[in-house]
Structure 1
Amino acid sequence: MNAETLLLLCLGAVAIIAGVRWLGERTGLPAAALLPVIGIAYALLPGPNIPLDPHIVLTFVLPPLLYSAALDSSLLAIRANLRIVIGLSVLLVFATALLIGAGFALFVTGATLAAGVAVGAAVAPPDPVAALAVGRKVGLPPRLVTIIQGEGLLNDATALTLLNVAVAAAVGGAYSTPLAAGLFVFAAVGGTAVGLGVAYLLRLLRPVARDPLLANAISLATPFVAYLIGEELHVSGVLAVVVAGLVVGHDAPRSTTGAGRLQTGAVWRLADFLLEGIVFLLIGQQLPTVVRGLQHYAMSTIVTAVAISVGVTLLLRPVWLILTQAAHLLLRREDEGLSGREITALSWAGTRGVISLAAVFTIPLTTDAGAPFPDRDLLLFCTFVVVLVTLVGQGLTFAPLVRALGLKANEVDEARQRNEARAAAVQAALDRLDELEREEPDEAPVVAQLRGKLQGRLRRYQHRLDVLSAAESDEVPTSQRYESALRVQKIAIEAQREELLRWRDAGNLPDEGLRRLERELDHEERILPERP
């Protein structure tokens, strides 16, 4: 494939991703479910196709996606739900892989336990992109969002470690569950240490990374540095990326400037948008590759293997959640358990993605003895079917399920919490101004002017809190006066932009000055609430 063809394919992919996002915004259909279908349709057409290189995905795609997700996650919230997160991201992954492995060994003709565990490890870790995109849009409660995020951040390390053990056993030895557990502990502890070390190094660089461009460059490089160090030390590079992202995200309010956070956030949103879109397209395009090697398998063998893979993937998750919740009630643990509606929603939030395909594509073609890897083509097909069924089936039905369950974040409580924090922050500023006036009497006129603005803002927040406290439903109440104020503010900002353009076009304002003044208006507009 020459450079021009590759460029055309990339431009076409970007156009499709943008078009699907536009369609999704208007129909409510998740892009993560639509893009693989489009990828399959393209794969069936004549013309060039892009094969999935697992090493490129695991080295260049997985680290930035995991790091960005970790930056947007809450270290404190994950810690508060650590029991559930660990159960889903570690224990459930092991259980899924072992049960699929046992099913292959018992019911699939000629299959080995190690080969079955390999495909089980590949399909075990959910990719939460689709579920979170839908969940946030329909207002999924923050606790469920945290659990899905935490599971998605940590389960890849478990699955990839278990996959490596299973592949090693299939290639040259016997599978051992204690060995798999021991290697996982070593990889997890080592990966955590590497992630903490990278985060500490970034903390040391804080004084020299105040410039937004420099901070942004360091942020983009961080996931690759953490991943490569982890892999070089033969520990979990994936976990190193996640831990570094969680710690850096937790420290970001203290360690970065406002301009740096705005710029870095915008860059990571764009990177997520393009990378996620491309990998979902790539999933569909792998259909010819995974189907090509099935000719020498009996249809009964294919059906049995697919049924075990899909069945265990879909059924074990709700059973696991129910059993762990029953154990929680039996032990009377202090942390809050899950309700029946929450268990149902989490059971259907297990969409698989490109990590599963990339993982299974790392299975070698041959064993140490030079023989073909046992049932590799069958393992690829089973993984592809699981990814497709969960992405399309669960991705398209997750939003209706959440709405039917009545699971919705309490918008009034969230708005009240935000306004209480705003009021507390303004009160802290007023207290500091009082101290400053006593320490520096010469600044009294400036202090008095700013105090008046802050007191007016505090009165607005307190009035808003009164309105929220009187709300009778879970939806945030609005007032005609408030909506009119927003509309007038936006009209005024737009009028200023038009006048600045007239100055520029008349030659009275250079483009550099226009861009600086536009940034001021952009920041002013950015803090206003969005309205449809």
Structure 2
Amino acid sequence: MDLVHHVEEILLFVLAAVAVMVATRWVSRRTGLPSAALLTIIGIVYALLPGPNVHLNPDLILTFVIPPLLYNAALDSSLVDIRRNMRTVISLSVLLVLSTALLVGVGFHLWVAGATLAAGVALGAAIAPPDPVAALAVGRRAGLPGNMITLIQGEGLLNDATALTILSVAVASVDGEGFSFPTAVGQFVISAAGGVVAGVIVAYLVRLLRHLRDDPINATAVSLATPFAAYLLGESVGVSGVLAVVVAGLIIGHDAPRYSSGASRLQAGAVWRLVDFLLEGFVFLLIGQQLPDVVDRLHEYETSTIWIAVGVSVGVVLLLRPLWLALTQLLPRRMHSRLGGLVDEHHEEKALNRTEVVALSWAGTRGVITLAAIFTLDDNVPDRDLLQFCAFVVVLVTLLGQGLTFAPLVRRLGLRANKADLARERNEARSAAVKAAVERLDEIQQEKHDHIEDRAIENMRKQLTVRLERYRRRLDLLEKADSDEVPVSPQYEAALAVRREVIEAQREELLRWRDAGNLTDEGLRVLERELDHEERLAERS
């Protein structure tokens, strides 16, 4: 009975947490406040109430939470865009992380009484990588330009591997002869290169399973297992499992349109959105609940020591990032070319302007990686409790301070994507796709397949011609647009409204058939899915 009672308590907590996440998402969508910051505040309030708290298990987080979150983010990222901005991405995700770790380490060694360089570098590695979840959520809602979204995504994907590798080197130095910069660089290069190879291997193996991925259930199962396979492969051979997950996700996401069916992508995408929502929600609730335990372990330190340690940590995090961005943008473009490896030579990376530098400087919210990393420190690490408190303060300052003010800053700077250009790009691509389909019809007709009637080809040609004409009218309207907003055509909006009304009438008729016993529920669900896809297509036209 004790086991049953314990299981019931866990289920009750999970249900309550899900209810909080759903309510927080509702509030976030209506207020514009980032849900990550709101959930962290709720977690802190809950931790201060009487009763048991849930403690963050770093190994559990690093093994079961971080891989799927990073993998899903990689699937949604653009390998082409990241390559195009590789110089800035490498600068932020590798060089800035390394500089942050070393600067915090030196600051601790010089100004915090009794602190060692290795312990300081360990803290610096933990607090160096920004968690892009809050910044991306707010940035997309605020209409941040695509190049800024790409930089935040690319940095967030690669900086975790950099930070965790530096952390492992620093922790290993605690029991050794101290922190050695050449040794750290060598181990980092080996770990990173091995992680890339592991990710490529997993992506290749998944590509071999493309026949299984035609079935939506199999495709979703393979997709959910892939990040754990990549992480375990990397960690088992002593290289960066996190980087293996990211590389596998980027390659598989890039190949998905070629090797997966449409139904598989729709279902896997829906499942991943749910997994992302639940994992992120639980993680940010857990962050807030760690506050009491972290504070309680500070009684052995003098107040001045705590203030100096927190000042060094927060100061480096808040000041180094904008300084780094400003200085790197002042470098000649030739020097920029040496910062990237796999650079797209056909598209020259543009320098960031002043407003973009300001916005990107404020998109440095820290989160779960920071706490999970710092909580992996063993008891033999000097000043472990102080390091954990400093990391927690950095998370709170950036997640709440920057997270809650990022959207107003973006609006104040006037940064937003040109919606008319994006709509024009999509409609041009749609027109090109329809033209390719018409050309293929001509080829089929010339090949004279006996099993294909000319009437079927002509019917398909008429449908494609109507669609192409609709896209052309839409493009004409977009070409005449004077602003960066998508122009509204009364005729186009009226046509969309008619399509929605027709779809709704079909849906209601299907329900009447089901209720009258003329259609099974299974048949209803099949036909409803067809209407749902048609409705979604209408919304994206």
TM-score by length of 2: 0.95
State yes or no: 1:77 paired with 2:58. no
> Which of 411, 414, 427 does residue 435 from structure 2 map onto?
427
State yes or no: 1:436 paired with 2:444. yes
Shift of the alpha carbon at 1:505? 1.4
Q: Match of 2:537?
A: 527
Q: Match of 2:34?
A: 30
The aligned amino acid for 1:451 is R
State yes or no: 1:257 paired with 2:261. yes
Change in 2 beyond 3 A, CA 1:332/1:267: closer
Q: Match of 1:48?
A: 52
Q: Deviations over 1:214-237 (max 9, x none)?
A: 011000000000000100000000
Q: Please identify, of 226-235 and 202-211, the stretch whose mean Cα deviation from structure 2 is larger.
A: 202-211
The aligned amino acid for 1:336 is K
> Which of 496, 504, 508 does residue 486 from structure 1 map onto?
496
State yes or no: 1:347 paired with 2:361. yes
Shift of the alpha carbon at 1:481? 2.0
> Which of 396, 415, 421 does residue 413 from structure 1 map onto?
421
Q: Match of 2:459?
A: 449
Q: Match of 1:243?
A: 247
State yes or no: 1:337 paired with 2:351. yes
| Long gaps (5+) in structure 2 | 338-347
Shift of the alpha carbon at 1:324? 0.7
* Correspondence list, 1:369-408, <5 A: 373-408=381-416
Shift of the alpha carbon at 1:209? 3.0
Change in 2 beyond 3 A, CA 1:303/1:428: same
* Correspondence list, 1:220-239, <5 A: 220-239=224-243
Whole-angstrom distance in 1 between the partners of 2:459 and 2:540:
30
> Which of 300, 311, 314 does residue 310 from structure 1 map onto?
314
Q: Deviations over 1:142-196 (max 9, x none)?
A: 1111111000000011100111111111234311111111111000000000000
Q: Contact 2:56–2:290 (CA<8 Å) still a contact in 1?
A: yes
Whole-angstrom distance in 2 between the partners of 1:453 and 1:461:
13
Whole-angstrom distance in 2 between the partners of 1:9 and 1:174:
44
Whole-angstrom distance in 1 between the partners of 2:515 and 2:443:
48
Whole-angstrom distance in 2 between the partners of 1:365 and 1:485:
67
Shift of the alpha carbon at 1:41? 0.1
Shift of the alpha carbon at 1:441? 6.4
The aligned amino acid for 1:56 is L
Q: Match of 1:327?
A: 331
Please state whether the residue corresponding to 1:209 is helix, strand or coil: helix
Whole-angstrom distance in 2 between the partners of 1:110 and 1:157:
29
Whole-angstrom distance in 1 between the partners of 2:389 and 2:449:
76
Whole-angstrom distance in 1 between the partners of 2:532 and 2:63:
36
Count of aligned residue pairs for this structure pair: 525
Q: Match of 1:496?
A: 506
The aligned amino acid for 2:123 is V
The aligned amino acid for 2:470 is R
> Which of 189, 194, 200 does residue 196 from structure 1 map onto?
200
* Correspondence list, 1:355-374, <5 A: 355-366=369-380, 373-374=381-382
Shift of the alpha carbon at 1:330? 7.6
The aligned amino acid for 2:325 is L
Q: Contact 1:328–1:337 (CA<8 Å) still a contact in 2?
A: no
Q: Match of 1:215?
A: 219
Q: Contact 1:35–1:281 (CA<8 Å) still a contact in 2?
A: yes
Q: Deviations over 1:399-431 (max 9, x none)?
A: 111111111111111111111110010001111
Change in 2 beyond 3 A, CA 1:378/1:486: same
Please state whether the residue corresponding to 2:538 is helix, strand or coil: coil
Whole-angstrom distance in 2 between the partners of 1:280 and 1:73:
22
| Long gaps (5+) in structure 1 | 367-372
Whole-angstrom distance in 1 between the partners of 2:491 and 2:364:
43
Whole-angstrom distance in 2 between the partners of 1:455 and 1:502:
35
Q: Contact 2:213–2:264 (CA<8 Å) still a contact in 1?
A: no
Q: Contact 2:213–2:259 (CA<8 Å) still a contact in 1?
A: no
Please state whether the residue corresponding to 1:284 is helix, strand or coil: helix
CA RMSD between the two structures: 1.4
Whole-angstrom distance in 1 between the partners of 2:441 and 2:21:
50
> Which of 283, 286, 289 does residue 285 from structure 1 map onto?
289
Shift of the alpha carbon at 1:326? 1.0
Whole-angstrom distance in 1 between the partners of 2:177 and 2:58:
24
Q: Match of 1:475?
A: 485
Please state whether the residue corresponding to 2:363 is helix, strand or coil: coil
Q: Match of 1:266?
A: 270
Q: Percent identity?
A: 65
Whole-angstrom distance in 2 between the partners of 1:162 and 1:192:
17
Whole-angstrom distance in 2 between the partners of 1:160 and 1:146:
22
Q: Match of 2:340?
A: none
State yes or no: 1:89 paired with 2:89. no
Shift of the alpha carbon at 1:435? 1.0
* Correspondence list, 1:48-127, <5 A: 48-127=52-131
